[in-house]
Structure 1
């Protein structure tokens, strides 16, 4: 048994920790506890609930309004790990500067980042987006369609594969083409050239498992899927963080690296950032 005197002695320390890390506790509550409870009460996932909200409130065929509606949901209803509006502006600025024609996204999730990328691409560009969770991919497919982008889905399985191409909705001829590939990134990346026709990417956006960033970057290098001067954007490199990825990018001699500091999506008090790498191809 802990004596009352010892407990009281630790009380100021505990209160200080609660005050200092209160924003992280709120994040834990909203992102984990609330989602877990509502999943069980409603029988649907928060990703499906978010899509139903977007479907009810967003303007079909208007990518900007669809992203705004996602943001409203995340600010006022439940938390989703999308890139969000603040860091999204960093992505939009890089797209405007680079005007890439071949873009690879790792981590489609609900399709927020996919819509953000697709709406900022120049005419004739093609976006390949990879999602490892079929449930998330099913939501993303609907979001991409709702935003008005031509889309086809290719599903892959370990030890073989099967594909189903979905008929694309009617869109403007100069709109970006989006291909959603369902499967683990470490299995899909080696097949991008032969199975999906991606010779190399001008821009790569990483927003999947942070522990996979370094592995997948090396896979892109080894399969020569990075064009000369390619840009790699990696989200959440400060929180929850990708330290090994950042260390490699800064020390391997193949990249010019900088980190755009921002806040965590939908939590302005939690610091985060996007890493921007420029591939030089040198060793």
Structure 2
């Protein structure tokens, strides 16, 4: 048994920790505990609940309003690990500067990042987005269509059908949603999906996979010279090995855009921007 005197001695330390890390505790509560409880009470996932909210409140065919409605859900209802509006503006700015035509997204999740990318691409651009979880991909497919973009869904190991003819009213940007683990999809992007070289890559999947997948893109020569790679959440939850490699391998110019975690302004985060200079 711990004596009351010893317990009281640790009380200031515990209170200090609670105050210092209160924002992380709120994140844990909203992102894990609340979601777990509501999943069991409703029988559907929070991603599906978010899509139901979009159907009720968002304007179909309006990508900007789709994203705004997503943000309202995440601020006021439940937390989703989307890039969010603050870091989203960084992505939009870099897209505007680069105007890429061949874009690869790793980690579709609910489709927030996909819609964000697609609305900022020039006419005729092609966006390939990879999602490993079929349940998330099913939600993302509906979100992409709701936003008004041309879209086709392809499972790993199956060649895509001919490009759909819809989506011209959104500037002709076509989105291909590929369902499968990124480490299995990336080696076959050229022969199965027609991606010769990407000139823009957005990473927002498992952080531990960032370095592995970047090296896969290199080894399969899928990065165009001068390609831009944006990687979200490199400070929280963090991708230290990815950052270390990007800064020291000699293949990239690397900088980190400081920001805050999506929907939690008090938690520091950042997006890494890499410019591919080619092999040494």
Cα offset for 1:125?
A: 0.2
Kept in 2: contact 1:95–1:120 (CA 8 A): yes
Cα offset for 1:170?
A: 7.2
- Alpha-carbon separation, structure 2, partners of 1:41 and 1:15: 33
Cα offset for 1:102?
A: 0.2
Cα offset for 1:175?
A: 2.5
- Alpha-carbon separation, structure 1, partners of 2:153 and 2:50: 21
Which secondary structure does the structure 2 equivalent of 1:81 belong to? coil
Which secondary structure does the structure 2 equivalent of 1:273 belong to? strand
- Alpha-carbon separation, structure 2, partners of 1:189 and 1:200: 11
- Alpha-carbon separation, structure 2, partners of 1:265 and 1:173: 27
Which secondary structure does the structure 2 equivalent of 1:208 belong to? coil
| Cα distance change on mapping 1:78 and 1:169 into 2, 3 Å | farther
Kept in 1: contact 2:149–2:170 (CA 8 A): no
The TM-score, its normalising length taken from structure 1, stands at 0.95
2:2 maps to what in 1? 2
Instruction: List alignment gaps of at least 5 residues for structure 2.
Output: 157-162
Kept in 2: contact 1:149–1:169 (CA 8 A): no
- Alpha-carbon separation, structure 2, partners of 1:191 and 1:265: 32
Give the total of aligned pairs: 272
| Cα distance change on mapping 1:246 and 1:239 into 2, 3 Å | same
Kept in 1: contact 2:236–2:269 (CA 8 A): yes
Cα offset for 1:173?
A: 6.8
- Alpha-carbon separation, structure 1, partners of 2:55 and 2:269: 30
Q: CA RMSD in A?
A: 1.0
- Alpha-carbon separation, structure 2, partners of 1:169 and 1:197: 15
Which secondary structure does the structure 1 equivalent of 2:113 belong to? helix
Q: Which stretches of structure 1, 4 residues or longer, exceed 6 Å deviation after superposition? A: none
1:175 maps to what in 2? 172
- Alpha-carbon separation, structure 2, partners of 1:258 and 1:154: 34
Kept in 2: contact 1:231–1:276 (CA 8 A): yes
Q: Per-residue CA shift, 1:237-271, capped at 9, x if unaligned?
A: 00000000000000000000000000000000000
Q: Which of 254, 258, 271 lines up with 2:255 in the alignment?
A: 258
- Alpha-carbon separation, structure 2, partners of 1:130 and 1:90: 21
- Alpha-carbon separation, structure 2, partners of 1:174 and 1:96: 15
Kept in 1: contact 2:82–2:262 (CA 8 A): yes
Q: Per-residue CA shift, 1:56-90, capped at 9, x if unaligned?
A: 10000000000000000000000000000000000
